[in-house]
Structure 1
Amino acid sequence: MRTIRIAATALIVCTALAACAGQKAGDGTTTPTPTGASPVTELPTPDPTGSAPAPSPSDPVDPTAPTTRPTVRPSAPSKPPATGEITLTGRIESGVEPGCLLLDGYLLLGGPRDVLSAGASVTVTGRPDPTMMSTCQQGTPFVVASARRS
């Protein structure tokens, strides 16, 4: 019974190695295997009747040719983001995530939590920071410098 296990293990290892044998190390490409076909070494001769040869259905792709990426220019923002301090006034709404507060399309970050609560009418001063990451998934991040109820 032990001999059968060893033979089966050896067979599995050999099969795995044979499957990997055609790959070059590092790039994951496989080396071509011979197919028995002979390479084409001469061009076809023109038809003696004078008719043009039929075009080939498609040109072969050279896998070693360098690839070119299409030039994509980033689009300019429709309006520049506000970076200076601004004042917002309105009623705070709850976001879809717990603890997220929204005012006029801005996600309120920081500030006094006793003043900033869902449903409160407030006046908030601060600056938007569209580059800031947040788990709230909505609103432009707005760093609150000061807040008061209105």
Structure 2
Amino acid sequence: MLTRIVPALLLLVLAAGCANNASDTGAAAPAGTPSPSASDVVDLPLPSAKTTGPTGEPSAGRPAAGGQTITGTVTAGVEPNCLLLADGTGNHLLIFDDPAMRADAAVGSKVKIVGNSQPNMMSTCQQGVPFIVVSVEKG
């Protein structure tokens, strides 16, 4: 008698478990967890290409005219496609918007570069202070 009841109970438990999942259309949230509503979603503004700091100076994007001038020999960074220029203040990671300027600053060439340091800029090169290049002069 017991050998007939155990398989029947097991089948009943399995059928009840399947029936419970059949009514769900997706993954259920754990009990006590509120689901997000439209009022919970916040649209953040996209950053602009040029922002200003507290003094009104550009803090990102293309540097202001004038800027800093550094002179030295271009060296390769440890990461691919990273170029550095060292001066008395340390290593500068050269960031170019124009591929023609980058070609003028080939590894091993002596250059005079005008631009602005961006010490808070993130980079994958992991070396030097990012320096946005405005112009390159060979020699």
TM-score, normalised to structure 2's length?
Answer: 0.50
